[in-house]
Amino acid sequence: MSAFWLFVIILALAALGFILGRSRAISSVQGDRRLLHSLPNYYGFNVAMLAFVPAVLVLGAWVIIQPMMISSQVSTHIPAALYEDAGQLNLIMSDVKRVADGLDVAVAQGLMSAEGASQLNTETTDVRALLGEVGVALGSDVDPSVLNAAQEMRSKTTSGNLFMTIVVLIVAAAGFVAAMLKTRGDFRARNAVEGGVKALLIAAASIAILTTIGIVLSLIFNTITFFGMFPASDFLFGLTWSPEGRGGSEHLGILPLLWGTIYISIVALLVAVPIGLFAAVYLSEYASRATRAFAKPLLEVLAGIPTIVYGLFALTVVGPLLVNFFGADGLGWMQGARSVMTAGLVMGIMLIPFVSSLSDDIINAVPQAMRDGSYGLGATQSETVRQVVLPAALPGIVGAILLAASRAIGETMIVVMGAGAAARLDLNPFEAMTTVTAKIVSQLTGDSDFASPEALVAFALGMTLFLLTLGLNVLALYIVRKYREQYE
């Protein structure tokens, strides 16, 4: 039985449990609801919950684990002569899976019987043509050992599915019966149900932790594999990045990428911080209510525009514009539309609302009494801002700038489209450079297999990026917490 129908059956059992549990509770007190501990529905929910939740958990775990177990068992039966490393074994296993799926389809369409499929032989039948008929295209002819493995996989899956059906149904029935037996007038059904709901809430809250664990584990494992193939010191301190490897040698040094990232971020912050900060000061200290209500949301629109739009803007508007001034016809500093300046400028535009609205909040949090004190001593408004308000808000502003920097470092689309692909250590801001994020994209898209150092390096880059942005965020929080003046 397929997992889907099993799920439907469990669902039906739960619905039945709700009705039966509810009526059993009412009849156990001879219809006098006042004698029940909880509202009747809670008895129903309790039965439904116990019938549904454990069974679905078992089902979900089984569906995830069974294919992995089977494929690891089957892969041990593939003759070692057929593959050299784990990558090739993976390819063979995906072939096996395709053949097994194709046989399933063929049986489902009635092209052959179930026994026919398990007795299929490469010598008597053209398996590839057969599977092609049912719409499963294979890249090459089917090797006998692959067919055998596929048949073994099918038989194991069939028996596994049978076993799963039995176990899941037993679990569901056991939960159902246990809950029914407990259903009596004095049973504290509401507490039981609320306990279950609370467990659900806790599970939802811990998904945040699971996500972080998932990120860290997927980065760490792949990074370790990468460092097994490529020396860590060459990665961390290498000055060249050329994954293609001319003459068989590849250089995967991160320093040029880090330099590009930092250079572009600096340009972006040089654009965003002055504009954002002055805008925030003006909006919170000078602007009339009407101006503020008009300009603040408009500036924040800049933050709501997707980064792909900024990327295309950099590529087709800002880049060519810069080439007009600094290119071969102008000052001759710029070769192509893609450069550090292009990406940095556009990223700066994107970060303006980020800096301005964070700083705006922080400036507004400075108490009015401090300004009044300053005015009382004869200071002008700008002197008050520069010498009283900004120093008081400084930790918050530094925090905002650090958050903006972490944004800039992690930004992908603008640099992919605007900064170029050449990794170099250069000081000319009109030169094309590349960043960590752009290289993650270029190493992981395309047809490269995941076992090669060229693809795995992306995980090491991702790890670097993750640690870098995490560090900046933590630092920002620390500064804000440590140096914040408490005015209340």
Binders in 288-317 for other proteins, by CB under 8 A: 295, 298-299, 301-302, 304-309, 311-313, 315-317
Q: Can residue 324 be called a binding residue for other proteins (CB under 8 A)?
A: no
Q: Can residue 341 be called a binding residue for other proteins (CB under 8 A)?
A: no
Q: Residue 2: what residue type?
A: S
As beta bridge partners, residue 252 has 241
Q: Which of 180, 340, 417, 423 binds other proteins (CB under 8 A)?
A: 417
Binders of other proteins among residues 46 to 75 (CB under 8 A) are 64, 67
Helices (H), ranges, 142-188:
144-182
Nearest to 300 by CA among 367, 244, 242, 353: 353
Task: Count the neighbouring beta carbons within 10 Å of the beta carbon of residue 379.
Answer: 16
- Residue 481: strand, helix, or coil: helix
Q: Which is nearer to other proteins, 157 or 469 (CB)?
A: 469
What tokens were used for 287?
């602007």
Q: Can residue 28 be called a binding residue for other proteins (CB under 8 A)?
A: no
Q: Can residue 412 be called a binding residue for other proteins (CB under 8 A)?
A: yes
Q: Report, in Å, the least distance between residue 375 CB and other proteins.
A: 11
Q: Can residue 481 be called a binding residue for other proteins (CB under 8 A)?
A: no
Q: Which is nearer to other proteins, 125 or 196 (CB)?
A: 196
Burial code of 14-49, b = ≥16 C-beta within 10 A, e = fewer? beebbebbbebbbebbeeeeeebbbebebbbbbbbb
Binders of other proteins among residues 216 to 245 (CB under 8 A) are 218-219, 221-222
Q: Which is nearer to other proteins, 113 or 445 (CB)?
A: 445
Q: Can residue 363 be called a binding residue for other proteins (CB under 8 A)?
A: no
The per-type count for the chain, helices as H runs and strands as E runs, is: 19, 2
Binders of other proteins among residues 183 to 202 (CB under 8 A) are 190, 194, 197-198, 200-202
Alpha-carbon distances, residue 167 vs 63, 129, 351, 394 (angstroms): 13, 38, 55, 62
Q: Which of 60, 87, 274, 320 binds other proteins (CB under 8 A)?
A: 274
302 close to 276: Cβ distance less than 8 angstroms:
no
Q: Which is nearer to other proteins, 180 or 322 (CB)?
A: 322
Q: Can residue 393 be called a binding residue for other proteins (CB under 8 A)?
A: no
Q: Which of 253, 353, 420, 429 binds other proteins (CB under 8 A)?
A: 353
Q: Can residue 211 be called a binding residue for other proteins (CB under 8 A)?
A: yes
Q: Can residue 457 be called a binding residue for other proteins (CB under 8 A)?
A: no
Task: Count the neighbouring beta carbons within 10 Å of the beta carbon of residue 449.
Answer: 12
